[in-house]
Amino acid sequence: MEIRVYGPGCARCSTLEQRVFNALASLDVAADVRKISSLEEITDAGVMATPGLVINGKLYSQGRLPSEDEIKTWLRSELGE
């Protein structure tokens, strides 16, 4: 699984990254998680408001801070559960 957290480095972006790690640990799922802070890469990914969350190339969230439960739901969806 490939997960990208997009944001310039603000506190909300860091919180989103931590929630992703917590959700992965809770589900016992391994993933390649990367934090992207380059404005060019953020816009290239189609993220118009940060923080942004992309899982397996699909934009799930932007401009808000999703809950850990929401992230778990999205992860399960990507796992086919």
Whether the Cβ atoms of residue 45 and residue 52 lie closer than 8 Å to each other:
yes
10 is catalytic: yes
Q: What is the mean pLDDT of each run of 10 residues along the chain (81 residues)?
A: 94 96 97 96 94 97 97 95 78
What local confidence, expressed as pLDDT, does residue 27 receive?
Answer: 96
What local confidence, expressed as pLDDT, does residue 64 receive?
Answer: 96
Class of the CATH-defined domain 2-79 = alpha beta
What CA–CA distance (Å, rounded) separates 30 from 1? Answer: 7
Side-by-side strand order, sheet with 32-36: 32-36, 2-6, 52-55, 58-62
What local confidence, expressed as pLDDT, does residue 11 receive?
Answer: 93
13 is catalytic: yes
Q: By C-alpha distance, which of 13, 29, 38 is closest to 75?
A: 29
Choosing from 13, 23, 24, 36, the catalytic residue is 13
Instruction: Compute and round to an integer the Cα radius of gyration of the chain.
Output: 11
**Domain ranges, ordered by start, for the chain:** 2-79
Choosing from 10, 39, 49, 79, the catalytic residue is 10
